[in-house]
Amino acid sequence: MSLVQIVKKLTVRTKASGVPGRRATRDRRTSLAQRVIVGLLPLMLLTAQPAAAGPYILVDLDSGRILDENEGLAPWYPASVTKLMTSYVTFEALAAGELTMRSAVVVSQHALNEPPSKMGFRVGTEITVENALKMVLVKSANDIAMALGETVSGSERRFVARMNKTAQKLGMTGTRFRNPNGLPAKGQTTNVRDMAVLTQALLKDFPEHADLFQITAIKAGKKVLRSYNPLLTRYKGATGMKTGFICSSGFNMVATAKRGNKHLIAVVFGSPSSQERAEEAARLLDKGFRSFGIKGRGNVSDFKAPGLTSEPVDLRSQICSQASRSARFKRLKDYKMGEGDSRLSKSVLVNTAPVVVRTGNAIRAIAANLRNAPPPVPRPNIILAAIPDPVAANAAGIAESDSVAASRIIEDEVATGDGDGDDKQLAGTATPGGIPLPVNRPAFARANPSNGKIEMDERMREDAQ
């Protein structure tokens, strides 16, 4: 039985046991039952199995058949899978001629203020829409997602309104967005069914952009930033899509894979670690390819939430408590990709050469009549020299990792605060063209309060593979 089911059953039983006419008493009992379950979660997570971690759904992308599902309509915090809608709205704007792939995305102060994961470019830095999308989908850069939204719609508020209007159009009845990047925000909610619908729409409506979701790494200057999705390189037939993490949601993933004429969508929410969400997604995809001919459980278009019902269960104290982090770190040390029960390949299956991204080379005017204009001459003086990962000490509730070391996928879950993050950076250097580049604190580091020095903290090295 899943966590969501346990909470629901206890809530129903508690309400049923109340005395008629004493609504306040019933509400207090319901609240108590939920608090008891939430209090027990750290112990449950110590031995949690991936399949019981949270809601999931498996869908045939072409027909919409639901091949497997558990708590598919349960409200959940989307975290960085929100960026799938950010991409969809951007693709709509591209198709409408509102901008082009070479249009300029300018980093504002508002965008730079977003906590990690981020690129950390200074205010006024220009990048193309194409490069912005790559940074958002591979690095999961919160600052660039915000800047992209501001470029498309003029402000965060107008872009979010457009995101929600698009969600309504697609029939995502259990989804409401509050920002373009998925960082913690009250009222921001979705479910695995709605994310499957969005993924289906992305690949059907905009197949010309499907390759963006398959990029395994980007290279900015000398720095290689790898995707947080190991299925892209370790699962046969993987075609995308996006991962997400904040303390309140646990580890989320939307994954797609194609073998022959079978194209599947697997959505997994609330996993206790990055490697467990990847293995659970791979398990679902394996099941789908084996049982593709089954009748299924109806169609995803007919399986809808009645509307926005309640705030999702908040897993912050369980996912990011010291006990759960220690248990996760222990499981990580014992985990060997491609061995034992692992569904992923031990070896890399695809070319992992990074795609180069740069600042500059953008067309300032956002106008359809510039579509056929010749590209500007590249300016070498604004090509990035090196971009260290933007990592800040005590970044709380961050979305995705702040560090990708060599070929390892690392998800840093520093979770000591309320999710606001800390984007302060150390003094920077500059490119030959004079553009300052931040020199950020190293991954898994904290400031020593006694001497102010940045020191490595092995307790923070939790989800590496």
Number of separate domains in the chain: 2
Same domain, 19 and 99: no
Nearest to 397 by CA among 421, 369, 372, 430: 421
Same domain, 107 and 31: no
Nearest to 408 by CA among 338, 327, 465, 350: 465
Q: Which domain holds residue 206?
A: 54-465
Same domain, 68 and 19: no
User: Can you give the pLDDT of all 465 residues of the chain as single tens digits?
Assistant: 555 554 444 444 433 444 344 444 434 443 444 444 444 444 444 343 433 459 999 999 999 999 999 999 999 999 999 999 999 999 999 999 999 999 999 999 999 999 999 999 999 999 999 999 999 999 999 999 999 999 999 999 999 999 999 999 999 999 999 999 999 999 999 999 999 999 999 999 999 999 999 999 999 999 999 999 999 999 999 999 999 999 999 999 999 999 999 999 999 999 999 999 999 999 999 999 998 888 788 999 999 999 987 899 999 999 999 999 999 999 999 999 999 999 999 999 999 999 999 998 887 643 433 444 445 444 443 333 333 333 332 233 334 433 222 222 223 333 322 333 222 222 233 333 333 333 333 333 334 444 444 343 333 333 322
| N-to-C CA span, the chain | 29
Same domain, 88 and 40: no
DSSP state of 93: H
Same domain, 220 and 309: yes
Residue numbers annotated as active site: 80, 83, 140
Same domain, 43 and 62: no
Q: Cis (ω within 30 of 0) for the bond into 117? A: yes
Same domain, 2 and 17: yes
Distance between CA atoms of residues 58 and 70, nearest Å = 9
Q: Domain holding 106: CATH number?
A: 3.40.710.10
Same domain, 34 and 87: no
Question: Within the chain, how many helices (H) and strands (E) appear?
Answer: 12, 16
Same domain, 436 and 368: yes
Q: How far, CA to CA in Å, does 426 sit from each of 120, 302, 392, 429, 454?
A: 11, 52, 9, 10, 11
Same domain, 35 and 87: no
Q: For residue 372, count CB atoms less than 10 angstroms from its CB and return exposed for 0-12, middle for 13-18, buried for 19 or more.
A: exposed
Same domain, 71 and 25: no
Distance between CA atoms of residues 270 and 184, nearest Å = 15
Same domain, 114 and 35: no
